[in-house]
Amino acid sequence: MKKKTLKLIFNKFSAFVTAGVMSFSAMAGFTATADYESDIAELQRKQEALAEERKQVEASLKEYEANANEHEKYLEIYDEKMKIQEQEIANIKEQISILDNDIADLEVKIADKQKEVDAGIEQFKQRLRVMYMTGNDSIASMLVGSTDFYDILARTELVQRVSRHDNDMIDELNNKISALNADKAELEQSKLDAENKKAEAEGVLADLQETYKNHEETKAWYEAQAEADRQRTAEMDAEQADYEEQLQDFIRKQQEELERKREEERKRKEEEERKRREEEERKRQEEEERRRQEEEQKRLEAEANGEEYVPEETADTAQTESVSSSYDDSSEDYAPGTSQGFIWPCPTVLNMTDGYGNRTIDEEGGSSDFHKGIDITKPGCAGEPIVAAASGTVITASNTGNGYGIHVVIDHGDKIATLYGHMSSCCVNVGDEVKQGQTIGYIGCTGYAYGNHCHFEVRVNGQHTNPLNYVSMN
């Protein structure tokens, strides 16, 4: 009996120590999981801040590009205006050249007429000389007192005395010279007007060139700013990819930690069951020994009394077996997510828009990305319930509003997890055990979304895969 008592005490002490170790391991696992959750939350905050900055940079990039394009249009307009103005200046220069040629021609003609005038004057002098030789002293005196030919013409008394033929000749020469001078003056005025027009056109061209230069410099500045934004966008994409890689690594480690905890829990239950069975077996053996001793005592007493001993049937064997077999070895199914298959996460919304894989995100076909899940939506779906596609443990219940917005990640064991994004709200917390079909949130438009929908992902070992390999609308 003493050995049995010591064995019982030892078994109880061992169970206590094992439970303590298991509890300590569970606490350590919980701390590690909490650390990962903190790391994940911090990364999500960084992603949110980076995404917000990217949104601002994209807005400024569009503005810079629009302004650069606007100034490019101005450059085209002013380039055309400058060409027109340059052509006008070229035309004016051509006109001035023609006028210069015409003036030169007139000057030649005036020189020729001047020669005719000089010849006429010479003839007139010869005529006067003849008159003088004939004895007309008064006319000679006038000629001697005159200063030039025009002074002679001005003296009406002399004109009246010359012959009509000479008078007509002088008038004709005078008219020709006057006409030529008038033509020359007109041409010189036309040239002056053309020079003024040319100067005005050159001033307009200079203004156009200055405006063109300003638009050119402004466009160059906007293009430089746009290029800086494009470079920053590329840098942020690289940072976001790095954050995403870190995030997936933390989620993978978190899942591994959960798997480890589940394995520890399974072993703990197996150990508890083993000890329970050992205890039952010990009790059964003690009971059998007690009954055997009772039967032996009864047999000895019967023999001592000279009576025939008839042993009693033991009915406890079936009962013991019943107790032993009543244990349901379902501890191996402790890990959540062992429900058969996955179900559609939005039972009231049986419509899918964007599928898994490459897609165009710019209406004009300018850019594309790889869609890591599927988008489930229909008109008026805001507030419709989102349910767990399979049973599991909530490892993320984020309200940070990053790219996924309000979202939930559920670990289903076997390194499989599902993500539900853009919720209007979620109704679970990290660490919650959820059942398949349990409501975990509601359809919304948080994060980077262009309308109310549920973004649904399936991740295997931290890597996204096609959700339609796991769920269907049927």
Assess whether 292 and 231 both reside in one domain: yes
Per-residue pLDDT at 320? 39
Closest to 443 in 3D by CA, of 350, 343, 307, 357: 350
Question: Angle 137-145/2-133 helices, nearest 10 degrees?
Answer: 150
- What percent of the chain is modeled with pLDDT above 70? 74
Encode 310-330: b = buried (16+ Cβ within 10 Å), e = exposed.
Answer: eeeeeeeeeebeeeeeeeeee
Mean pLDDT, residues 125-133 taken together: 70
pLDDT over 50 (residue 44): yes
Per-residue pLDDT at 312? 60
* DSSP run (H or E) holding 418: strand 416-426
- Tokens 């480690």 found at: 253
Mean pLDDT, residues 93-109 taken together: 87
Per-residue pLDDT at 375? 95
pLDDT tens profile 51-69: 888 889 989 999 999 999 9
Q: How confident is the model at residue 241 (pLDDT cuts 50, 70, 90)?
A: confident
Domain-terminating residue out of 247, 277, 308? 308
- Tokens 């120590």 found at: 17
In a domain, residue 325? The reply is no
In a domain, residue 328? The reply is no
Per-residue pLDDT at 87? 93
- What mean pLDDT, rounded, does the chain reach? 78
Assess whether 61 and 205 both reside in one domain: yes
Assess whether 183 and 245 both reside in one domain: yes
Assess whether 292 and 435 both reside in one domain: no
* Bridge partners of residue 455, in order along the sequence: 375, 421
pLDDT over 90 (residue 114): no
pLDDT over 60 (residue 26): no
Assess whether 172 and 58 both reside in one domain: yes
Spatial distance between the Cα atoms of 224 and 226, rounded to a whole number of angstroms = 5
Assess whether 299 and 378 both reside in one domain: no
In a domain, residue 184? The reply is yes
Q: How confident is the model at residue 163 (pLDDT cuts 50, 70, 90)?
A: low
Closest to 167 in 3D by CA, of 127, 207, 210, 116: 127
Tokens of 440: 């975990």
Domain that holds residue 32: 18-129+167-308
In a domain, residue 429? The reply is yes
Per-residue pLDDT at 381? 94
Per-residue pLDDT at 210? 92
Assess whether 373 and 266 both reside in one domain: no
Question: Angle 164-304/2-133 helices, nearest 10 degrees?
Answer: 180
Mean pLDDT, residues 197-226 taken together: 90
Counted domains in the chain: 2
In a domain, residue 226? The reply is yes
Per-residue pLDDT at 365? 47
pTM given for the model: 0.49
Mean pLDDT, residues 357-379 taken together: 76
Assess whether 273 and 378 both reside in one domain: no
Domain-terminating residue out of 273, 293, 308? 308
Give 434's contacts (C-beta < 8 A, 6+ positions apart): 336, 388, 391, 392, 393, 394, 410, 428, 440
Assess whether 50 and 194 both reside in one domain: yes
- Supply the CATH number for residue 445's domain: 2.70.70.10
Q: What is the CA radius of gyration of the chain?
A: 57
- Collapsed DSSP state (helix, strand, coil) of residue 448: coil
Spatial distance between the Cα atoms of 68 and 224, rounded to a whole number of angstroms = 10
Least confident interval from 122-126, 204-208, 342-346: 122-126
Q: What is the Cβ-side half-sphere exposure of residue 324, based on CA atoms within 13 angstroms?
A: 16
pLDDT over 70 (residue 327): no
Assess whether 287 and 401 both reside in one domain: no
Spatial distance between the Cα atoms of 389 and 419, rounded to a whole number of angstroms = 10
Mean pLDDT, residues 402-409 taken together: 85
Per-residue pLDDT at 121? 72
**Number of neighbours of residue 377 by Cβ within 10 angstroms:** 23
Per-residue pLDDT at 325? 39
Highest mean pLDDT among 102-111, 211-220, 357-366: 211-220
- Tokens 């000895």 found at: 300
Per-residue pLDDT at 378? 92
pLDDT tens profile 246-302: 878 888 887 788 888 878 888 898 899 889 989 998 998 988 888 888 888 887 877
In a domain, residue 161? The reply is no
Least confident interval from 101-105, 267-271, 316-320: 316-320
Spatial distance between the Cα atoms of 128 and 162, rounded to a whole number of angstroms = 9
Residue 458 φ then ψ, to 5°: -120, 130
Give 378's contacts (C-beta < 8 A, 6+ positions apart): 349, 350, 351
Spatial distance between the Cα atoms of 341 and 350, rounded to a whole number of angstroms = 18
Least confident interval from 82-91, 165-174, 443-452: 165-174
pLDDT over 90 (residue 129): no
- What percent of the chain is modeled with pLDDT above 90? 30
Domain-terminating residue out of 308, 342, 371? 308
Mean pLDDT, residues 330-351 taken together: 66
Higher pLDDT, 21 or 381: 381
Residue 365 φ then ψ, to 5°: 75, 20
Assess whether 188 and 104 both reside in one domain: yes
Assess whether 363 and 277 both reside in one domain: no
- Supply the CATH number for residue 277's domain: 1.10.287.1490
Per-residue pLDDT at 151? 59
Least confident interval from 149-163, 252-266, 394-408, 409-423: 149-163
